[in-house]
Structure 1
Amino acid sequence: MNKVVFIVNEYAGRGRAKKIWVAWKAKITFPYSYYLTEYTGHATEIAKNCAENSTEDVFIIAIGGDGTIHEIISGVTEYEHVRIGVISAGSGNDFGRTFSIFQTVEQLQEYVNDFNPYEELDFGKLTAPQDSYGFVNNAGFGFDAKVVYSVNNSKWKKWLNALELGKLTYILYVIKELLTFNRFSFTLHTEEDTIKFDDVWFIVVCNQPFFGGGMKISPNSQPNDQLIEMTVVNKLTRWKLLFIFGTVFFGKHTKYKEVKQFQAKNFRITMHDQVYGHVDGEFSCMTYVDQSYSFSVQSKAWNLAKPKSKGS
């Protein structure tokens, strides 16, 4: 490779990314440069600058969680000469459940030395009335987005993370929203039909099967098929929702009549209530009443470096 760049979010995984970076860089023998992220969106800026400032092949290696990976890929989707390698170091790591990642220094050394293959993958896009948001894994509206927003803005999160009890924050807000969440309505517009959904818990559109730290919400999603899948959960009691959540980790929730799934190259919906939204596990926007939103897929939008071997 002509250029190797590490982008590291040292705070990912409650400091796990920093520990990995320290251990790996002590063993790396090839030339490289590196950047440490300092704020939300910084990884996107760094990745885009690296792509713009080189006409030669660039190999960017992400060390962080799904949020860091999302930011880096978002910054390079227009650049065919960039490859992305990933070392997962977050808490949820949904990316690593589907996509190829580097698990050892030996794998990475081998890739850099031998210039191994890469895979061209899809990138999703949520278009809202006033902005647009890219996604690698998934995007949606409703219950899960409200939980994500509440957790990320919780005064308890930092304190519980310090005690290595960060997941307790998520559990607490799942229970809270299970008891208080106001369900909503939306209309799905397809080429064949217009379908109104009431009493909706959430909508999620996926580019790969997993979300929420290992829940297999969309079992048939593939990140290289030029399609996206929508899952809608509606018309079920609060306690049945809790039960169904338990089956999502195994992809068994699709057998319930309250879970509907659709597959297409794009979706257009009209939201009839004000609802929280998310992309790749981060807050995106609040919806406007009776406004239109769309989901689409950009095929072969970015290049994923694939380890050749299992390493040692």
Structure 2
Amino acid sequence: MPVTENKPTFIVINPHCHQGKGWMRWKSIRSQVIGQLPLAKEMVTESIADLAVQLHPILSTDQQSCIISAGGDGSIHQIANMLLERNEPDKHRLGAIGLGSSNDFLKPFRSFVGNIPVRIRTDSITLQDAGEINYIDQAHINQKRYFIINASMGVTAEGNWHFNNPGKVLTRIKQINTQAAITYTALKTILSYRNKAVRVHFNGTELLIGLSNINLLKVPYVSGSFHYQQNILPDDGVLGLNICANMSTWELVRTLMSLEKGKFHTGPRRISTLVDQFQICSATPIIFECDGETAESTDIRVSVLPQAIQLLNA
């Protein structure tokens, strides 16, 4: 049954996602998607620069539109950042077709086309908060990024970096089984990870800790089957903050195993709370990640943009 389309709709396809399988996955469901969105225009993008060029005329007009990212979490992250930079939350709606490896943005999966999870109801939206990250890059220039899924520092962030820059073994595992590749990356990263001395600020508290892992959540799924059972709403104005501090390798492995079941028990080395602002400072650069994309900084400040983006429902 076709979805009611009140606004121009654009499907932005990343053919290279999911280890180069994005185009094949799109072709397998294309006719069904177009059957639901018969007036949608398809746009194939080859790079981030190409994406910016193709979206510029759409974002620069006064006309409202629906933009559907057909790719992975990295694709949705890039488009969301372009929308959030313009600070026009009432103008465009963002949806997704999960052609990627993990598709955390779409979890829990509620609607499918074929076996692909989707959020393509152009007539039904959720107005969601976004996270804003301000940081100083390696050239000492102030930078800004946004996220609509989650952000991390520590072992999760470094794991994301390794997953995005795989060696031969990980590349082969990714081609065979995504969850196995995620678990392999997580365990390999944990085994080589060393805690880093950092200072964190949140909810009027300042702590000096050995950074093992930090997750800041708008969506409780962090990668593959790893997730928290934290009560976070799309528009509640807060982020879920979960800190692992001063942990041994074995404690991190146990935490990973628990997160596969959605369990995160607080204690002397684990903090779980809700925040609207967070800061982490380090004497040496640390990797941080937002929606799967990584960067480095010594000073990272996170805040919430309330009801900043319109997301299509499933």
**Pairwise TM-score range, normalised by the shorter structure:** 0.7 to 0.9
Separation of aligned partners in 1, 2:70 and 2:129: 21
- Superposed displacement of residue 5, structure 1: 0.6
SS in structure 2 of the partner of residue 223 of structure 1 = coil
Change (3 A) 1:49 1:71: farther
SS in structure 2 of the partner of residue 149 of structure 1 = helix
Q: Is the 8 A contact 1:232 1:259 kept in 2?
A: yes
SS in structure 2 of the partner of residue 254 of structure 1 = coil
Q: Which position in structure 2 is the counterpart of 1:71?
A: 78
SS in structure 2 of the partner of residue 119 of structure 1 = strand
TM alignment of 1:220-259, pairs within 5 A: 220-259=231-270
Q: Which position in structure 1 is the counterpart of 2:308?
A: 301
Separation of aligned partners in 2, 1:269 and 1:159: 32
Percent identical residues: 19
Q: Which position in structure 1 is the counterpart of 2:292?
A: 281
Q: Is the 8 A contact 1:8 1:36 kept in 2?
A: yes
TM alignment of 1:1-312, pairs within 5 A: 1-27=6-32, 28-29=34-35, 30-40=38-48, 42-53=50-61, 55-77=62-84, 78-79=87-88, 80-98=90-108, 103=113, 111=121, 116-129=123-136, 130-156=142-168, 159-160=171-172, 163-165=175-177, 168-190=180-202, 192-197=204-209, 199-217=210-228, 219-285=230-296, 287-288=297-298, 292-307=299-314
SS in structure 1 of the partner of residue 255 of structure 2 = helix
SS in structure 2 of the partner of residue 182 of structure 1 = coil
Higher mean alpha-carbon deviation, 96-105 vs 178-187, is at 96-105
Q: Which has the larger strand fraction? A: 2
- Superposed displacement of residue 9, structure 1: 0.9
The amino acid that maps onto 1:195 is L
State TM-score, norm by structure 1: 0.83
The amino acid that maps onto 2:47 is Y
Change (3 A) 1:157 1:180: closer
Separation of aligned partners in 2, 1:164 and 1:25: 24
The amino acid that maps onto 1:81 is K
Q: Is the 8 A contact 2:18 2:100 kept in 1?
A: yes
Separation of aligned partners in 1, 2:179 and 2:203: 41
Higher mean alpha-carbon deviation, 174-183 vs 123-132, is at 174-183
State TM-score, norm by structure 2: 0.83
Unaligned runs of at least 5 residues, structure 2: 1-5, 137-141
Q: Is the 8 A contact 2:163 2:185 kept in 1?
A: yes
Separation of aligned partners in 2, 1:82 and 1:93: 21
Q: Is the 8 A contact 2:229 2:263 kept in 1?
A: no
Q: CA RMSD in A?
A: 2.8
The amino acid that maps onto 1:253 is F
The amino acid that maps onto 1:6 is I
- Superposed displacement of residue 271, structure 1: 2.1
Separation of aligned partners in 1, 2:178 and 2:260: 20
Higher mean alpha-carbon deviation, 135-144 vs 263-272, is at 263-272
Change (3 A) 1:160 1:35: same
Change (3 A) 1:156 1:222: farther
Change (3 A) 1:48 1:15: same
- Superposed displacement of residue 122, structure 1: 0.9
Q: Which position in structure 2 is the counterpart of 1:310?
A: none
Separation of aligned partners in 1, 2:274 and 2:174: 41
Q: Is the 8 A contact 1:126 1:294 kept in 2?
A: yes
The amino acid that maps onto 1:145 is A
SS in structure 2 of the partner of residue 261 of structure 1 = strand
Separation of aligned partners in 2, 1:231 and 1:44: 34
Unaligned runs of at least 5 residues, structure 1: 308-312
Q: Is the 8 A contact 2:266 2:272 kept in 1?
A: no
SS in structure 1 of the partner of residue 100 of structure 2 = coil
SS in structure 2 of the partner of residue 95 of structure 1 = helix
